Structure 1
């Protein structure tokens, strides 16, 4: 939890200083890299797991500040509702990921394909986020 707090706070600071699309690109890329090494870290008495815990903890909610910043920058006053829908979609994705991982484990007897799928999805997300239009929406009135 401490690494999660540090990662989210640090990401908030970075979100004020740098292009949020590029931050998300790096967060998703590094998350995918961490997932690629996780199966090796699961062996007993392996120090890689310790490093994974630290790194993944720092990255876990680091995507939230730049995502909020992008949503409010692009959608203006409607950014809050957009972010709410993003959270709904995120939860649906989490449920599908858990189900999919279980199905892959049942089919293959291992979580390896789940990790591979996670790495691929992180790579896709990293590529897609760079294509987000960074222009701000015109201001609208609140109702």
Structure 2
């Protein structure tokens, strides 16, 4: 599914006037004892993103690095008349992904190295998930920080 979501020729991975804003692939096991694992990019262009694992378990941390900034009472949504200005709603990972995408497009060697890093990271996360998922998550603390840790590693890979 991740490969399909990365396919630009088919039009599934959109560029141009409309942009893929994030992608999701889920593993829904038949065995009810095994957890459902969801892989989110949290960034546009899944061809240059890491699908990061997420499992719904108690005590999940707030996902601050993939959360749109809050503007409080100054938010154009809350002001009247509404939408007179357009704030930057990009979260930290999105911004870093934009910079990485520009590097990948413009700098051949550095771009190839970056793509290799994110591809390797994604494979590692999928392998980790397979181990965790088959353990039936007896210890759900393993899953609490999966997504947040993957984001931190992705941010490093984009540096």
Using the size of structure 1 for normalisation, the TM-score is 0.37
Using the size of structure 2 for normalisation, the TM-score is 0.34
Q: Which has the higher strand share?
A: 2
Q: Which has the higher helix share?
A: 1
